[in-house]
Amino acid sequence: MPRIYLETYIKSDIRKVFDLARDIDLHQKSTSKTNERAMAGRTSGLIEEGETVTWRAKHLGVYQTHTSKIIDMEKPYRFTDIMLKGTFKSLNHQHIFKAQEYGTVMIDIFEFESPCGFLGKLFNKLFLTRYLRNFLLERNAMIKKESEL
């Protein structure tokens, strides 16, 4: 199963960073390139533990839907979302926040499994892991920018 690990240092309070990371409106703003929109469940504001959101976005030239659920949350230190329905065979995204002397370290641990067996694994290796890493980096850049205002 591919795993993407990212650390983003942000010069801002842990609570502010935590809230921006779970803000549906900011997520939509940060994913404007894929025209991502919240269509069902929590569609605006701060998502909470136990809530779901269904996204519709254009990835790789095709519109797709993806339903996530927040299965665990300890404010302002971590939350985890999993895919309930979507293109992937499985998807688990841990968001971890650590207060530092002059800011916050935001950690993403993004694990996913593509369908289609060997072909899916090959696609992950050749393309998808890099695509998803860049997608997360763009999202994190927006969280950093908004947090540091």
CATH code, 137: 3.30.530.20
3-state secondary structure of 128: helix
Residues 6+ apart with CB under 8 A from 130: none
Q: Number of structural domains, the chain?
A: 1
Could you give the C-alpha distances from 79 to 45, 87, 143, 147, in angstroms and in order? 16, 22, 16, 18
Structure-token pair, residue 87? 């293109």
32: tokens are 């404007």
Q: Provide the β-strand partners of residue 95.
A: 79, 108
Q: Which residue has the higher pLDDT, 59 or 19?
A: 19
Q: What is the pLDDT of residues 16-52, one digit of tens each?
A: 999 999 999 999 999 988 899 999 999 999 999 999 9
Q: Residue 115 sits in which domain range? A: 3-147
Mean pLDDT of the chain: 95
Whole-angstrom Cα distance, residue 132 to residue 145? 20
Prediction pTM value = 0.94
Q: Which amino acid is at 24?
A: I
Q: How far is Cα 94 from Cα 130, in angstroms, rounded to an integer? A: 18
